[in-house]
A = this chain, B = another copy of it.
Amino acid sequence: MTEKIVIIGGGAAGPKTAAKLRRENKNFEIDLYTQEDIISYSACGLPYYIENIIQSSETLIIRTPDDFKKQNINIHLKQRCLSINTAEQNVLIEDLISQKQYKVSYDILVLATGATPIIPNIKGINLKNIFPLRTIQDGINIKNKMLNSKKAVLLGGGYISIEVMEALVHNNIQVTLIEKNSQILNMFDSDFAQFITDYIIGKNPGQVSILTNEEIIEFVGNENNEVIKVITSSGKIIETDFVVLGTGVRPNTDFLQGSNIKLGVNNSIKVDKTMKTSKYNIYAAGDCCEKFNLATNKYTWVPMGSTANKEGRCAALNIAGNNCLFDGILNSTITRYFDLTISIIGISYKEAIELGYQPEFAIVTKKDKAGYMPNSGTLTLKLIADKNTHTIIGIQGIGDGDVNQRINTVIPAIISKTKLESFMDLDLPYAPPYSPAIDPVLNAAQIIYHKICS
């Protein structure tokens, strides 16, 4: 008998699962339903489309429904999943065009419904020109508006806002970022958040304002219901042509309310290491799922396109009868603001304190190449280790130099609990165009070791 696989969601995890399933098994009947009118695109690339580094939004589309059709995978656009009936093994779908509802039965169901922007409950939020950034249409809306604008407000100081800020500043928009916490990029320690803030302000003096400990209490519109200013909690009135909401996302799991699918952190879907949910024939993958943090050994929820791809692959392998376990994540993130790379992996110093570690850290600022080589960049690393076990638990890195190379070195060390003693002597390859004789990340480990042991 042909197994009927139904996949709900068309972002990263759903299409990945579908494609991998087909490679593993020619006989599965595979149907993918998505509420959007487009599938398989890189949402992470949207800020670069807005910036106009990427001219066409179509460049962000990885595979079209026709591509999937050639693989005998049926894509159903603008079809929203309303609910699941696990007893009858079917899903209730609404056709968003005809608004008719119908049931689709499955042998195996894959939930890959992603995440949805959190729209804050602020007076005037329904005015025109207040945009989230999640879908390609959101990106098109922001880009079109930007091209006829002079001023913008970004609400929230996370990665999306930093990336959109680069896009807007590059396009000569006057930008005000409003963040309710005392720092932007709240996952970073405050020292690094300050370095980043200083860089952003210094990069384009006068063009960017960053307001922390500040909230928007009202969006004010004109006679056409277009936002024209925002009023903040401290009483500031900021004129603007549009607003981008960088106020976070939440798992798109409302349709599971009342089902017997277990939910976890932030109402994300609980999965085991095979990506199976609490129901034996229902899998989940991507931003709708709970994650396990290998650095803290706690469940968490961090949406990330790279994780979605890995989880989709893992789900497909297990559905196809192979064995695959996805162990978890390290909350690894990276972005850039013009020439500045910004990255954090594992546990920050402040989080380590909260979690009850006895952390020690070292901050080093070094050239990324031999000092005498031209075109070298600078990087600042904050390496964090646990005093009791001597293991590395996290790193933060910023700079116009090659930060990645150092950040990536730490990742396997965290999961394998490599001690500082071994890490500081790692045989990283050395040549003057690539690093100083003692690599900055090793230097940081030497300093922590010295602090702990002397």
Give 1 or 0 for each of A305-325: 1 = CB within 8 Å of chain B CB: 111111001100000001001
Counting every copy of the chain, the complex holds 2
Checking B327, B345, B416 against A429 with a beta-carbon cut-off of 8 angstroms, the contacting residue is: B345
Contact A425 B53 (CB under 8 A): no
Cβ contact within 8 Å between A433 and B370: no
How near does chain B come to A300, taking the closest CB pair, in angstroms?
Answer: 12
Is B322 touching A432 in the complex (CB atoms < 8 A)?
Answer: no
CA distance A306 to B435 in the complex (A): 10
Q: Is A175 an interface residue (CB 8 A)?
A: no
Q: Does A122 contact B (CB under 8 A)?
A: no
Asked whether, in the complex, the Cβ of B430 is within 8 Å of the Cβ of A305, the reply is yes
CA gap between A438 and B345 in the complex, in Å: 17
Q: Are A60 and B421 in contact (CB under 8 A)?
A: no
Q: How far is the CA of A232 from the CA of B365 in the complex (A)?
A: 51
Q: Are B429 and A310 in contact (CB under 8 A)?
A: no
For A48, list chain B residues within 8 Å (CB).
372-373, 432-433
Task: A331 to B427: give the CA distance in the assembly, Å.
Answer: 8
Query: Are A437 and B306 within 8 A (Cβ)?
Result: yes
The answer for the CA separation of A406 and B370 in the assembled complex, in Å, is: 20
User: Which residues of B have CB within 8 Å of A406?
Assistant: 408
Q: Check if A12 sits within 8 Å of B309, measured CB to CB.
A: no
Chain A positions 411-430 with a Cβ under 8 Å from a chain B Cβ: 411-413, 415-418, 421-423, 425-430
A332 near B45 with CB under 8 A, answer no
Cβ A412 vs Cβ B405 within 8 A: no
A410 CA to B426 CA, complexed, in Å: 11
A249 at interface by CB-CB < 8 Å: no
Residues of B within 8 A of A426 (CB): 411-412, 415
Is A216 part of the binding interface, using a Cβ–Cβ cutoff of 8 Å? no
The distance from the CB of A343 to the nearest CB of chain B, in whole angstroms, is 5
Minimum distance in angstroms from A295 CB to a CB of chain B: 9
Given the complex of chains A and B, what is the CA–CA distance between A404 and B435 in angstroms? 10
Query: In the complex, which residues of chain B have a beta carbon less than 8 angstroms from the beta carbon of A327?
Result: 422, 425
CB proximity to B under 8 Å, residues A1-60: 12, 42, 44-45, 48, 53-54, 59-60
- A53 is contacted by which of B331, B373, B416, B438 (Cβ under 8 Å)? B373
Most B-side CB within 10 Å, residue of A307, A427, A432, A438: A427
B309 touches A44 (CB 8 A): no
Min Cβ gap A371→B in Å is 8
Interface string of A329-359 (1 = CB under 8 A from B): 1111111100001010100000000000000
CA distance A415 to B428 in the complex (A): 12
A412/B416 in contact, CB under 8 A = yes
A409 close to B (CB within 8 Å): yes
Q: Contacts A334-B431, A430-B44; is A59 near B437 (CB within 8 Å)?
A: no
**Bound CA span A310–B54, Å:** 45
Q: Which residues of B contact A42 (CB under 8 A)?
A: 370, 372, 432, 437
New contact pairs (8) apart from A44-B432, A306-B435, A408-B408, CB-CB < 8 Å: A12-B437, A45-B432, A306-B437, A308-B437, A310-B425, A332-B428, A341-B434, A412-B413
27 pairs of residues in contact across A and B, judged by CB atoms under 8 Å: A12-B437, A42-B432, A44-B370, A44-B430, A45-B370, A54-B372, A304-B430, A309-B438, A310-B425, A310-B442, A327-B425, A328-B427, A329-B427, A330-B427, A334-B429, A334-B431, A336-B433, A336-B434, A343-B429, A345-B429, A404-B434, A407-B429, A409-B412, A410-B412, A412-B413, A415-B422, A415-B426
